[in-house]
Structure 1
Amino acid sequence: MPLDAADLKISMQTAWILVGMAGLVLLAIATAWAIAIERIWSGRPVIPTRSGRPVPWGGPQVFASFFLWQFATLAMAELLRALRGEEDEPNLVTAMSAVALINLAILIVVPGFLALWNQARAIDFGLVWDRVGRDLILGVLTAIFCLPLIYGVQLTAILIWPPTPHPLMEMLFAERSPWVMILGILSAVIFAPAAEELLFRGVLQGWLEKRFGVTRPTRADDEVSELSSNDLQPGLNPRVANLTALVVPAAVFAIVHFGQWPAPLPLFVLAIALGLLYRRTKSIVAPIAAHATFNGLSTIAMIVIVLMVPKVEPEVVPIPGEPGVSAPEEATVDAEAEPLQAGESANSEENPTR
């Protein structure tokens, strides 16, 4: 739904609410940057580095996990197409509900699959309960810290390429009910970040870091066996290994969202930040929190825009007749004008136009 500036007729109260929200975001960004500067000034790392255990899964399990994800997505798309028919327009609410269910299934199936195949445990995903609170806070602060860079790239991109409408925005404009907004929040802020970080950071980046020897040595009390020579890529420069394990998951993450161009460009920057966060914390909790924070701010902005713009019903537009002939002023149209409404010219036989 294209927006026109004339549609944004907002009251003074709404304008002050928007100004207040923007002020809170700017205050949060300033706070995150102040914390980062203070840590650098005091000689501490911005993101604390932890030792971690190498993940137990390998390449076949990574491929199988992504195959399950794509197979579930394609199967659900075919099911929805069969239910609605080939000629019917897709129902955005139903499609968003299906995406949320797929992501929820991924959160259940993939860890269970890896637990059965590789005896993976919660600690292999960095789920240590006494660290969860700190990782959540760290993830939120990291997302807020990166907002100026991500939004800067996004603004530059949309000045060059016209943005593709986001399915969530289209759904919110089509169905403006509280339940649809709740569905959008659940899908975009909870299920999607958790499932995507599990796959891209936990499964894919975790395996690449083990494969390229990026994973740091673990403490003796972690009870982890040493990496075998088959798990390491021989002769690879450490810098190349570090960069490859970071960039490949970020690039795949951006490519998956290619249909929403130019969104992949700022999403690639976001994915790099999420990958660094995962590498430092050795946990998917912090990347999930950061991803959810970014999606949450974007979703709230969409909802605010939807509430600002009044719902406009489609207007009945009169079908024009011959060029240079104005439409009749009367509401009723006589029988002689019907050929004009059908797109035919009254004198088409004498003066054919095609």
Structure 2
Amino acid sequence: MPLDAADLDIPMRSAWLLLGMAGLVLLAISAAWALAIERAWGGRPVIPTRPGRPVPWGGPQVFASFFLWQFATLVAASLLRARRGPDAEPKLVEAMGAVALINLLVLIALPGLLGLWNRARASDFGLSGGGGRIGRDVLLGVVSAVFCLPLVYSVQFMAILIWPPTAHPLQEMLFEERSPWVMVLAFVSAVIFAPAAEELLFRGILQGWLEKRFGVTRTAIAEDRETDRDSIDLQPGLDPGVASLTALVVPAAIFALVHFGQWPAPLPLFVLAIALGLLYRRTKSIVAPIAAHATFNGLSTVGMIVLVLILPEAEPEAVPVPGPAEPGISAPGEGEAEETSGPPQAGESGHSEARSIRRSHPNVESV
């Protein structure tokens, strides 16, 4: 449903707020690009490369990590369906809360399991070196995300010229609930838990293992007596360029595919994932990718919240804001909610009917 004149009746104060936010984002993008150009012009690497030892886990542990993540997601989806009943409509707030809990479980359980299974340490995730290094990585991640915004959003807007966008479930929840607590839940889930859990899985665990397997950039630190170079299992006979590209593209492609329910979002998210992978490769830490991912999600979430506040009558499909990079739980199959919704009753608006139809989307809760 396109925006109409009533939807665009924005108070002057809100209009100035939007212009101010847009101006700040453009200023930040300009500063990030100027910094990158200045470093490249001076012959310095845009992102300095750090040494690091190969991660201790292997393929079975990578498979087990992703299996546990998906198993927890399926269990949560089954519990939500059982609680709703066969004819109930999806509850987006419940799904968002479940996704947040799953991501929190991932952050707690997987490092612990890898520590027990492979004696993984904080340094294997780049979480060592003191607060100074972590602070620098956070700043690097924020600047990198701002630098990539024009690239990611350009792909997003070119994609929606070809395919009609699917409203992001987080966006739908914000437009439907319009509660301060729902806004807090959306921010915590999309900006804190989701980036940390996904970067742990896709960059730290998966890409870290692929880089070890293909011998890309992770070399053992000489003074680390616990690392035996001869025991590192590298893929023989693979061209270094192919190995480097494979270790970068495979996690990015899988990351994009798990967001397939919000098509065409996987296209810009693939670009974002490549940038996150490069950050991880250069820093040997998940801190910078988490910060970059959180910055991207944060800007998207704040943009959605602002639009909810100033466009109270708009439908989420009419507002082409790129959604956060956050997959999650699937709703009932297509048509379930539509079969039970029926025509709008007396006193109900067309917006209610649109929400019922929109909720029938099979991925409406993929947050």
TM-score by structure 2 length? 0.84
* Equivalenced residues, count: 317
Shift of 1:86: 1.0
Shift of 1:230: 6.3
Tell me the equivalent position of 1:145.
Answer: 147
Tell me the equivalent position of 1:5.
Answer: 4
CA contact (8 A) 1:246 1:272 kept: yes
Secondary structure at the residue paired with 2:27? helix
Written as runs of structure 1 = structure 2, the 5 A alignment for 1:10-89 is: 10-89=10-89
- Sort the Cα spacing of 1:51 and 1:312 in 2 relative to 1 into closer, same or farther, 3 A: closer
Residues in 2 aligned to 1:14 and 1:230: alpha-carbon distance in whole angstroms: 58
Deviations 1:45-91, CA, capped at 9 Å, x for gaps? 00010001100000000000000000000000000000110110011
Max Rg structure:
1
Deviations 1:142-188, CA, capped at 9 Å, x for gaps? 00001000000000000100001100001001111110000000000
Shift of 1:27: 0.2
CA contact (8 A) 1:53 1:215 kept: no
CA contact (8 A) 2:142 2:291 kept: yes
Residues in 2 aligned to 1:152 and 1:80: alpha-carbon distance in whole angstroms: 36
Residues in 1 aligned to 2:198 and 2:183: alpha-carbon distance in whole angstroms: 21
Tell me the equivalent position of 1:190.
Answer: 192
Secondary structure at the residue paired with 1:116? helix
Written as runs of structure 1 = structure 2, the 5 A alignment for 1:102-141 is: 102-128=102-128, 129=130, 130-141=132-143
Secondary structure at the residue paired with 1:74? helix
Structure 1 spans left out of the alignment, 5+ residues: 319-354
CA contact (8 A) 2:212 2:234 kept: yes
CA contact (8 A) 1:201 1:249 kept: yes
Q: Taking every aligned residue pair, what percent have the same amino acid on both sides? A: 74
Tell me the equivalent position of 1:211.
Answer: 213
CA contact (8 A) 2:3 2:314 kept: no
Structure 2 spans left out of the alignment, 5+ residues: 316-343, 349-367
Shift of 1:13: 1.2
TM-score by structure 1 length? 0.87
Return the match for 1:156 from 155, 158, 166. 158
Tell me the equivalent position of 1:91.
Answer: 91
1:101 partner letter: L
C-alpha RMSD over aligned residues: 1.7
1:24 partner letter: L
1:191 partner letter: F
Shift of 1:227: 3.5
Tell me the equivalent position of 1:304.
Answer: 306
Tell me the equivalent position of 1:324.
Answer: none
CA contact (8 A) 1:53 1:224 kept: no
Shift of 1:264: 0.1
2:209 partner letter: W
